[in-house]
Amino acid sequence: MADSYLRQSALASLHLIARANQADSNAGLSMGERGFLCQWVVRGDAGNAVFASAVKDVTGCDLPIEPNTVQGSGYINVLWLGPDEWLIVAPDGSDAGPRLDEACKDIHAAVTDVSESRTVIVLAGEHARDVLAKGCALDFHARSFVVDQCAQSTLAHMHVIVHQRSDAPEFDVYVHRSFAESLWQWLEDAAAEYGFAVSNPV
Amino acid sequence: MLIIDCPYCGKRDEAEFHYGGEAHIVRPENPSELSDEAWAEYLFMRSNTKGRFLERWVHSEGCRRWFNMARNTANNEVEAVYLMGETPPKEVSK
Amino acid sequence: MKRYSIFSLVRNAVSHHKDWPKAWRSPDPKAEYDVVIVGGGGHGLATAYYLAKNHGITNVAVIEKGWLGGGNTGRNTTIIRSNYLWDESAHLYEHSLKLYEGLSQELNYNIMLSQRGVLNLAHNQHDLRELSRRISANRLNGIDSEFLTPADIKNMVPLMDVSPEARYPVMGASLQKRGGVARHDAVAWGYARAADDRGVDIIQQCEVTGILREGGAVTGVETTRGTIKAKKVALAVAGHTSMLAQMADVRLPITSHPLQAMVSEPVKPALDCVVMSNAVHGYISQSDRGEMVMGAGIDTMTGYTQRGALPVVEELQRAIVCLFPSFSRLRLMRQWGGIVDTCPDASPIVSKTPVGGLYVNGGWGTGGFKATPGSGWVYAHTIARDEAHELNAPFALERFTTGALIDEHGAAAVAH
Amino acid sequence: MTRQANRLGTDLVAGARIDRSKSIWFTFNGRRYEGHEGDTLASALVANDVQLVARSFKYHRPRGFFGAGAEDPCVMVQVGVGAETLPNLRATQVELYDGLVADSVNAWPSVNHDVGIVNDLMSRLLPAGFYYKTFMWPASWWTTYEHVIRNAAGMGVAPKQPDPDTYDHMHIHCDVLIVGGGPSGLAAALAAGRTGARVIIVDEQSEMGGSILASRLLVDDKPGAEWLASALAELGAMEEVRVMPRTTAFGHYDHNHMGLLERRTDHLGPGHDIARQRMWKVRAGQVIHAGGAIERSLVFAGNDRPGVMLASAAATYVNRWAARPGQKTVIFTNNDSAYGVAADLADAGISVQAIVDLRVEPGAAALEEASARNIEVLTASCVVETRGKRAVEGVTVMKLNDAGDGVVVGERRFDCGLVAVSGGWSPAVHLHCHAGGKVDYDEIQGCFVPGKTLEAARSVGAANGQLDLADCLTAGWQAGTNAAADTGFRKPGKVPKGPTATAVEVSPPRHVWIIPAKPGEENKVKRFVDLQNDVTDADVRLAAREGYRSVEHLKRYTTLGMGTDQGKTSNIPGLGILAAELEKSLPDVGTTTFRPPYTAITMGAIAGRYTGQMLEPVRRSPMHHWHENHGAAFEDVGQWKRPWYYPQDGEDMHAAVARECLAARNAIGILDATTLGKIDIQGPDASEFLNRIYTNAWSKLAVGRCRYGLMLSEDGMVMDDGVTSCISDNRYLMTTTSGNAASVMGWLEEWLQTEWPDLKVWCNSISEYWATLTISGPFARDLLAELCSDIDVSNDGLPFMSWREGTVAGAPARVFRISFTGEVSFEINVPASHGLGLWQALMTAGEKYGITPYGTEAMHVLRAEKGYIIVGQETDGTMTPYDLDMDWIVSKKKPDFIGKRSLGRADFLRDDRKQLVGLFTEDPLEVLPEGAQIVDDPNAPIPMPMIGHVTSSYLSANLGRSIALAVVKGGINRKGETVHLPLENGRTVRAEITGMVFYDPQGERLNG
Ligand SMILES: Cc1cc2nc3c(=O)[nH]c(=O)nc-3n(C[C@H](O)[C@H](O)[C@H](O)COP(=O)(O)OP(=O)(O)OC[C@H]3O[C@@H](n4cnc5c(N)ncnc54)[C@H](O)[C@@H]3O)c2cc1C
Ligand SMILES: NC(=O)c1ccc[n+]([C@@H]2O[C@H](COP(=O)([O-])OP(=O)(O)OC[C@H]3O[C@@H](n4cnc5c(N)ncnc54)[C@H](O)[C@@H]3O)[C@@H](O)[C@H]2O)c1
Ligand SMILES: Cc1cc2nc3c(=O)[nH]c(=O)nc-3n(C[C@H](O)[C@H](O)[C@H](O)COP(=O)(O)O)c2cc1C
Ligand SMILES: [Zn+2]
Is B3 at the interface with chain A, CB within 8 A? no
Instruction: Test A152 with B65 for CB contact under 8 angstroms.
Output: no
Q: Which residues contact D500 (CB under 8 A, 6 or more apart)?
A: D219, D220, D470, D473, D474
DSSP for D581-612 reads HHT--HHHH--PPP-S-SS-EEHHHHHTT-SG
Closest CA to D621 of A176, C279, A120: A176
Residues lining ligand 3, CB < 6 A?
C 74-78, 184, 263, 287, 289, 291, 293, 306, 334, 336; D 552, 562, 566, 592-593, 595
Ligand 1 within 6 A of C295 CB? Answer: yes
Question: Which residue from D181, D231, D161 is spatially nearest to D462, judged by alpha carbons?
Answer: D181
For residue A23, what pLDDT is reported? 61
Distance CA C44, CA C233 (A): 11
Predicted pLDDT at C408:
85
CB contact under 8 A, A153 and B63: no
Residue ranges with CB less than 5 Å from ion ligand 4 = B 6, 8-9, 59, 62-63
Alpha carbon C139 to chain centroid, angstroms: 23
Backbone angles phi, psi at D281, to 5 degrees: -110, 110
Compute CA distances C265 → D88, D89, D167, D706, whole Å.
7, 10, 19, 60
Residue-wise burial string across C366-394, b where 16 or more C-beta atoms lie within 10 A, e elsewhere: bbbbbbbbbbbbbbbbbbbeeebbebbbb
D342 and D330 both lie in a single domain: yes
End-to-end CA distance of chain A: 29
Would you call B62 an interface residue with chain A, using a CB distance cutoff of 8 Å? yes
Cβ pair D710, D725 in contact under 8 A:
no
Query: Are residues D441 and D415 part of one domain?
Result: no
Contacts with B, D 253-282, CB within 8 Å: 253-255, 257
The rounded Cα D790 to chain-centroid distance in angstroms is 57
CATH superfamily of B3-83: Folate-binding superfamily (3.30.2270.10)
* Residues of chain D under the 50 pLDDT cut: 1
Using alpha carbons, list the distances in angstroms from residue D804 to D680, D706, D726, D818: 16, 11, 11, 12
Q: Tell me, what CATH number does D738's domain have?
A: 3.30.70.1400
Half-sphere exposure of D45 (CA within 13 A, CB side): 29
Instruction: Answer yes or no: is D884 within a domain.
Output: no
Type of residue at C388: A
Question: Contact at 8 Å (CB) between D170 and A133?
Answer: yes
Strands C358-362 and D640-645, how do they pair?
unpaired
Residue A106 main-chain phi, psi, to 5 deg: -100, 0
Residue of C157, C97, C392 whose CA lies nearest to C286: C157
Distance CA C47, CA C36 (A): 11
Find the CATH number of the domain harbouring D957.
2.40.30.110
pLDDT score at C412: 46
Distance in Å, CA C368 to ligand 1 centroid: 7
In chain B, domain spans: 3-83
Confidence grade of residue C274 (pLDDT, cut at 50, 70, 90): very high
Q: Is residue D153 part of a domain?
A: no
Distance A81 CA to ligand 4 centre (A): 8
Q: Which of D255, D256, D438, D759 should we substitute to test contact with B (largest number of B Cβ atoms within 10 Å)? A: D255
How far is CA D351 from each of CA D46, D423, D582, D920, rounded to the nearest angstrom?
A: 17, 21, 41, 94
Q: What pLDDT, on a 0 to 100 scale, did the predictor assign at position D553? A: 97
**Could you please report the per-residue DSSP string of C142-178?**
T---EEE-HHHHHHH-TTS---TTSSS---EEEEETT
The string of DSSP codes covering D796-828 is TTS-TTEEEEEEETTEEEEEEE--SSSSSEEEE
Atom of ligand 3 nearest to the CA of C70: 23
Check whether domain A29-36+116-197 has CATH 3.90.1660.10, yes or no: no
Q: How far is the CA of C232 from the centre of ligand 2 (A)?
A: 55
What is the reported pLDDT for C410? 60
Q: What's the longest Cα–Cα distance across chain C?
A: 66
Query: What are chain B's partners, defined as 3 or more CB pairs within 8 angstroms?
Result: A, C, D
Fold for the domain defined by A38-113: Alpha-Beta Plaits (3.30.70)
Task: Tell me how far apart the alpha carbons of residues D941 and D944 are, in angstroms, rounded to a whole number.
Answer: 6
- 3-state class of D106 per DSSP? coil
Residues 319-348 in C contacting B (C-alpha not used; CB under 8 Å): 344
Q: Would you state the pLDDT for residue C415?
A: 53
Distance from the alpha carbon of residue B69 to the mean position of ligand 1, in angstroms: 28
Same domain for D470 and D529? no
Number of domains within chain D: 6
**Residue C235 CA to ligand 1 centre (angstroms):** 12
SS (H, E, C) B26-47: CCCCCHHHCCHHHHHHHHHCCC
Same domain, D176 and D270: yes
Pairing assessment for the beta strands D914-921 and D802-808 based on DSSP bridges: unpaired
Beta strand D199-202 with D241-244 is parallel
My answer on whether D566 and D417 are in the same domain is no
Structure-derived torsion over alpha carbons of residues A89, A93, A97, A102, reported in degrees to the nearest 10? -160
Does D794 map to a domain? no
Average pLDDT, chain C: 96
Residue D507 DSSP class: P
| Residue in D70, D71, D130, D80 with CA at minimum distance from that of residue D105 | D80
Q: Which of residues 15-34 of B touch A (CB under 8 A)?
A: 15-16
What are the C-alpha distances in Å from A44 to residues A65, D396, D681, D752, D796?
A: 12, 86, 14, 14, 39
Same domain, yes or no: D439 and D369 = no
Q: Which CATH number covers residue D208?
A: 3.50.50.60
All structural domains of chain A with their residue ranges: 29-36+116-197, 38-113
Q: Which of D404, D423, D442 is the last residue of a domain?
A: D423
- Mutation pick for ligand 3 pocket among C80, C286, C336, C372 (CB with most ligand atoms within 8 Å): C336
Ligand 3, from D88, D554, D595, D598: best to mutate by most atoms within 8 Å of Cβ? D595
CA nearest D42: which of D98, D106, D90, D111?
Answer: D90
Residue C42, ligand 1, Cβ within 6 A: yes
Can you give the pLDDT at residue B73? 97
- Please list, in sequence order, all residues whose beta carbon lies within 8 angstroms of the beta carbon of residue D734, skipping any fewer than 6 positions away: D677, D678, D679, D681, D690, D709, D722, D724, D744, D748
pLDDT tens profile C153-209: 999 999 999 999 999 999 999 999 999 999 999 999 999 999 999 999 999 999 999
Q: Looking at chain A from residue 4 to 43, which residues have their Cβ under 8 Å from any Cβ of chain D?
A: 4-10, 13, 35-36, 41, 43
Is C305–B74 a contact, with Cβ atoms under 8 angstroms apart?
A: yes
Residues of chain A contacting residue D835, judged by C-beta atoms under 8 Å apart: 8
pLDDT at D458: 98
For residues D285 and D303, state if they share a domain. Answer: no
**Final residue in a domain of this structure, among D747, D768, D789:** D768
Predicted pLDDT at C413: 43
- Alpha-helix residue ranges (DSSP H) falling in B1-94: 36-44
- What pTM did the predictor assign? 0.97
Letter for the amino acid at D584? K
Give B34's contacts in chain D (Cβ within 8 Å).
901
Tell me which residue range forms the domain holding D548.
Answer: 512-609
Q: What is the pLDDT along chain A (202 residues), one digit of tens a residue?
A: 344 467 999 999 999 999 987 766 678 899 999 999 999 999 999 999 999 999 999 999 999 999 999 999 889 999 999 999 999 999 999 999 999 999 999 999 999 999 999 999 999 999 999 999 999 999 999 999 999 999 999 999 999 999 999 999 999 999 999 999 999 999 999 999 999 999 999 7
